[in-house]
Structure 1
């Protein structure tokens, strides 16, 4: 075979979603088949991992060079010697059908005829080799070992290859590829190829988690989600409009084919696990026996948890809904009864309880009210709104029904339908004959009013009804009056701290709130007060301290949730506190802390990401904008905005629209900017006072960037100091940073006054730039530029290098002027915030050079000798010569005399 021709064909293969993550395997397999060292290539992996697709691609690439013969393993013929070879040995007498020599001779005669007809080497393609009988595997191994044909074999990782084929690998004459599940990055790449580049990152994260990186399941999920409208394109961005459906037609077909391969007992065990997971292994084995369970575990259809109480669950969670959807209600009820007879207690885990209750409701069985309420609360926490509403609607007890209705209100809150949530909560607020029913939904009621724009004072005034109801309840039950009033007052205090924290309202001169140790149920107020203190510190320009306080609040929230203190409330503290913590990290310029925080939040389950993922990506977009990467920021913020149109539980839409408007203005996308400004102006203002102010600053900055907005700097400075008598150094930093970016050098003096009281690398770098402006010395501008680069503020670094270039020009230092100008250009390239920058960069002949090579070539173009370049860059002459030699080779030029024309067309320094 002509291996060079085959490799060239493989290299020209268009990128395909089906080959994502398999390119290295493809190239290696082709090389092995083409070479003389290996006689076989084995592709092993789970069902749906892509073995057959990869095999077909290999055959397609090798097609013109080989005689391809296909052999398929079959479960029904596993115990029939030479059964799968039937089509090749039809002329063999019956009495010789079990003779290895006779079968080999007949098979070889048939293969030689095929080879003679094509005059090309033989390639035997063996799919589902794990189902081959030992005799057939032995003959194939002999053919390969003798060099009569090469093998391309696909097999399931479990049970794996038959022994004769495996022996080829042991002998080192076969190459083995264990195909692994796709990574998140590969899943993202696959979606880019399938849908285009504008896919909300949460889509990839949810699909990757749901499919486990299995390409077959992933394709099924994508197809079903597109067909039923779950995955939809809005304004060019692909996103989920609701929770992922895992029982569509494509996925059902995949699961049905899997079931057909299993024995009746194995199918029954799979159904039981799907209906009851997680379920004790001993229960399933008591119903169907040990062997079917062991077979399902071996074939990785079911996984088992570690001892001492092993539990079974499906290997791929997405199989669950599909399997349950295939089981009739009558059969489901029968299976439930067979399992309940063996159970001595109800499931104790949250997931187990949810499945138990859900299964009972599907069968029409009665479920106790408290269990229904508990299941509704858990389902709402996991953002399974449909199950939460169904369970809550079945609660009959009047007192428990009030708590159940608050859970239904929470499901509306999750989807930003605050009016619907308030209709439910307002009807029950201040009512109830027990403390639990009286307080049910009270925190959520306050959060909904806050989201609808009511001030803390208005909310607490209306909350007086709760106190009056508590006082009446205490009179009705005098023996419990003390505990009733204590619980109501504790809730009112927590409610007040919460709405103040949501609104960012605090007393500037008030001392930091103490956080004394308290039982988990009493930590709620402390968590909100810590959050409020974080905002106060942030406004004062203390983001490092603010992040520490917000982190304490997150720890407190984790303790509250672990203790189950908010089960009845379902007010999710974590996402709110993540926003507060991220704001502090971003304001301070601690990008690593912010990214770590966001990554940790994004690692949650798929349903949480669908509800809150828009806010995660909004934060990432703001980081990019602050770093000066306006083009990337615009893409990220625009995608986040589409997600927030559907669900915005943290009311971040206005802030995101404002930041996206600023980014669009930065890159000169006027039409896009106009649409984003309209989005901002039509949206409710951000709840937090700090975020509201920051949003207005971004809008003023964007308008100034677009031109014809006199007085922008004065307006920004005014926003930074809403009350000159109070310390708002953090707001001033944001305002003055916008001013400096607009070219308002007069803001530098005020920044230097603020510098001693500011925290974080972002403030330090911006103040360094302000200091360089005040001295206007080239050396100071260079130092400021390096400081901004270290802080990854590429926009400010470019401004500082530009100022240094002007200062060198004024001093007549042309060489250093050009160097500073080149550094400025490099920072702008890093920022990537210029319209059309990508196209220009792709046409730059110097784009193939490294940064150091570009710098040396630029100096060579200006006429400096190798020794002068070495002195300028403080490197050895040999280093300069080496870089120039490699640059000539890359640029396909013979020497210095051909460099000026090339560099003149590029953007080198």
Structure 2
């Protein structure tokens, strides 16, 4: 671990290093004090500063250790070799010897002291005196708080020393450090979980990275490091650091640390029954625990990593004795869920009897927190015959979270009969998930993802005490009935509201849908985590509603808030955030950014996908890759999409199929792409999903199917919103090949913030002008396209609006292709044809699209003979 620490970059510390160097060189200070908890990188910062100061600074190193602290002037012993033995205890003799050493240096020397809190008193006084008189300067590292030597604090108060506190690394700095250590891109969710587990402590972070990589919890997939499973926290190499700290503490301090790790978080008052205020202060100064500053004064381990290390460090007998003492004391009225789970784990570790009710509650709590291993352990420990069905239900959920669908289905079947209504509701939801989203090769698979399946909704209606009217097939009506019948049953009402909101947006009733979605999402903040997987269901539906409404800022805020507050869930749910962000980028026309998000989404969902979203991620990724000319990648995603049975009723399966088809991924036997998209749009219309129909017909128009513009003009009339009105005018302009109106709409859309529509309209205008003799007019449109592409973050060669299949090259495009094939550069072609380089680039990206290539070298290989006019 030492070599890893030494070689790791000083991420997040460069500004501190510069400030310290400036302080010692230019600011008239006589020293710097670097303060931080163990593992924060104090020594590494000190060494970096010395490298910057050398070779112009004479360094006098003083060794400060607990053993030497008891020896008068022990740290100075290497410089006192000429003193007689009887003078070694004489302060004046030592001062004289050190002064002579200082004067012999070619320049004012720098005392360098690591762990100054271990410096003996005599040495501390002598160094402080030398610094105060200007005879020497000092660079010292030290633990925080009361451990800082009083003499150094006095120098700081007098402005002679500068003090630099090393704060924990931020999440961004942790991510940067991960990528530098692993020398490749790292999933932001992996680095976020590392930051949370280590609390930004560099040493513990590096130890965790090394351990996760060696154990296979961290894996490299397509050049990106992902967390493949939860890394073990208790047996990392850095555990020795914590063990050393604990061994150096008093029995009272070790007891308090153990109680916090085993039973925490807990109120400070409860902890004081095991360790007095001095013990608590010592643990906080050592970076072992943290105490909140609020009125509740809650104590918890300084990081989850430290907590798990201490749990592992405590012998079993000692742990059982501590538990007996702990449970004999009165507990608070409220025990937080994480503390409750810790205490149940503690009891199971000790072999203590735990009431079946508590075990079942622990299993439910752990599943709701997406912590399947703890849920499985608690459920398996239930032996009460009456609770076996409930325990098996929780085991089924835990197995589902672990990706073992077969065992999940087995335990769900064994869970019958369930007497509790709430449990039957949970069972119905899990049953719906197990029936859907399977690969096409899986026998018996059916439909789309469960959060779009109406079956759980019908079951939930029965749970709410309402029977849906016989013969009613209208999904909106069913959802409205369910919302009305649910009453105060929020676990039923709010999912139904969010389903209804999603449906309204898909129908084109955007204002009503988004309003209902926002209301359901805000209400879900308080209850959503009471049931497994349901909170993320709400997030998906809310995100889809905002995507269809084009409320990008609200969508970003919701996803960012989830990311910031639910780090522990990202191992399973991280793919959702990437997918929704990627979909938003694609709908905005920001294809390169969308691809970056979707690539992460596909990998994350391949690792863990309890919400069955991988098919949608593949479909959108296929489309985005096809737009930027990545033919091979687009086909890979389209093939992966077709492997899943994702053909249930609802908005998302239709839209996913449309994206995959528009990428050139129509399934065999489905006819050409245009006919397939027309069929999907007709199905969306049949289901009353006019918003989805509009999206599909817009995809068809982008592909060059101008006949689809007629249907787009009609469907967009049924959709609310300003963009829909512009889409109607856009469709009519495409039908009539009205280049002037398309240019006007492009400018209007850009002013309104609809960058994708602005680009589409400009490219359609260029198509209308393909054979024009008015070159100035064509050049003006091409310039607009370049500007729109820049606004959308696209490379100049992307042709978002595609020409007809097998379109031939124009005479000018053929001429440019011949010149490129001969090796001419864009500048040489522009000079020869007396046009601008931008015009050449515009012709080239149209040639790319017509020939189905994405690189200049492909033009040389292709030659384009079959496409000449």
Question: TM-score with structure 2 length normalisation?
Answer: 0.81
What does residue 593 of structure 2 align with? 632
| Aligned partner (choices 626, 630, 637) of residue 665 of structure 1 | 626
What does residue 693 of structure 1 align with? 654
8 Å contact kept, 2:187–2:225: yes
What does residue 612 of structure 2 align with? 651
8 Å contact kept, 1:668–1:835: no
| Aligned partner (choices 432, 435, 457) of residue 449 of structure 1 | 435
Residue 550 (1) aligns with residue 541 (2): no
Query: Could you say what secondary structure the match of 1:239 adopts?
Result: strand
| Residue 125 to residue 404, structure 1, CA distance change in 2 (3 Å) | same
Residue 539 (1) aligns with residue 506 (2): yes
Residue 490 (1) aligns with residue 463 (2): yes
Distance in 2, Cα, partners of 1:669 & 1:681: 19
8 Å contact kept, 2:797–2:841: no
Q: Deviations over 1:736-768 (max 9, x none)?
A: 221233234444444343444323565456556
Distance in 1, Cα, partners of 2:362 & 2:209: 29
Moved more, 236-245 or 81-90: 81-90
Alpha-carbon offset, residue 605 of structure 1: 3.4
Query: Could you say what secondary structure the match of 2:560 adopts?
Result: helix
Q: Deviations over 1:814-862 (max 9, x none)?
A: 777656534432433454444999xxxxxxxxxxxxxxxxxxxxxxxxx
| Aligned partner (choices 12, 25, 35) of residue 21 of structure 1 | 12
What does residue 31 of structure 1 align with? 22
What does residue 413 of structure 2 align with? 426
| Residue 462 to residue 127, structure 1, CA distance change in 2 (3 Å) | closer
Alpha-carbon offset, residue 395 of structure 1: 1.0
Distance in 1, Cα, partners of 2:54 & 2:593: 43
8 Å contact kept, 1:38–1:173: yes
What does residue 58 of structure 1 align with? 49
Between Structure 1 and Structure 2, how many residues are aligned? 793
Alpha-carbon offset, residue 392 of structure 1: 1.0
Distance in 2, Cα, partners of 1:395 & 1:413: 19
8 Å contact kept, 2:35–2:42: yes
| Aligned partner (choices 619, 627, 638) of residue 677 of structure 1 | 638
What does residue 379 of structure 1 align with? 366
Q: Deviations over 1:840-889 (max 9, x none)?
A: xxxxxxxxxxxxxxxxxxxxxxxxxxxxxxxxxxxxxxxxxxxxxxxxxx
Structure 2 gaps, min length 5: 1-5, 439-444, 799-833, 844-869
8 Å contact kept, 2:592–2:793: yes
Distance in 2, Cα, partners of 1:715 & 1:905: 35
| Residue 463 to residue 194, structure 1, CA distance change in 2 (3 Å) | closer
| Aligned partner (choices 320, 332, 335) of residue 319 of structure 2 | 332
8 Å contact kept, 2:479–2:497: no
Query: Could you say what secondary structure the match of 1:312 adopts?
Result: strand
| Aligned partner (choices 227, 245, 256) of residue 240 of structure 1 | 227
8 Å contact kept, 1:630–1:667: yes
Distance in 2, Cα, partners of 1:648 & 1:739: 30
8 Å contact kept, 1:539–1:731: yes
What does residue 73 of structure 1 align with? 64
Distance in 1, Cα, partners of 2:631 & 2:383: 57
8 Å contact kept, 1:768–1:787: no
| Aligned partner (choices 556, 573, 576) of residue 595 of structure 1 | 556
| Aligned partner (choices 260, 271, 274) of residue 261 of structure 2 | 274
What does residue 183 of structure 1 align with? 170
Residue 365 (1) aligns with residue 365 (2): no
Query: Could you say what secondary structure the match of 1:159 adopts?
Result: helix
Alpha-carbon offset, residue 725 of structure 1: 5.5
8 Å contact kept, 1:70–1:125: yes
Question: TM-score with structure 1 length normalisation?
Answer: 0.78
Structure 1 gaps, min length 5: 1-14, 468-486, 565-569, 838-899
Moved more, 574-583 or 669-678: 669-678
Q: Deviations over 1:211-234 (max 9, x none)?
A: 222211211211111111111112
What does residue 165 of structure 1 align with? 152
Residue 43 (1) aligns with residue 34 (2): yes
| Residue 805 to residue 737, structure 1, CA distance change in 2 (3 Å) | closer
What does residue 246 of structure 2 align with? 259
8 Å contact kept, 1:66–1:122: yes
Moved more, 19-28 or 551-560: 551-560
| Aligned partner (choices 70, 77, 89) of residue 80 of structure 2 | 89
Distance in 2, Cα, partners of 1:217 & 1:209: 11
Alpha-carbon offset, residue 541 of structure 1: 1.8
| Residue 517 to residue 154, structure 1, CA distance change in 2 (3 Å) | farther
Query: Could you say what secondary structure the match of 1:226 adopts?
Result: helix
| Residue 365 to residue 727, structure 1, CA distance change in 2 (3 Å) | closer
Distance in 2, Cα, partners of 1:771 & 1:199: 46
Q: Deviations over 1:23-64 (max 9, x none)?
A: 222222233333262332332222222221122122223333
Distance in 2, Cα, partners of 1:307 & 1:723: 54
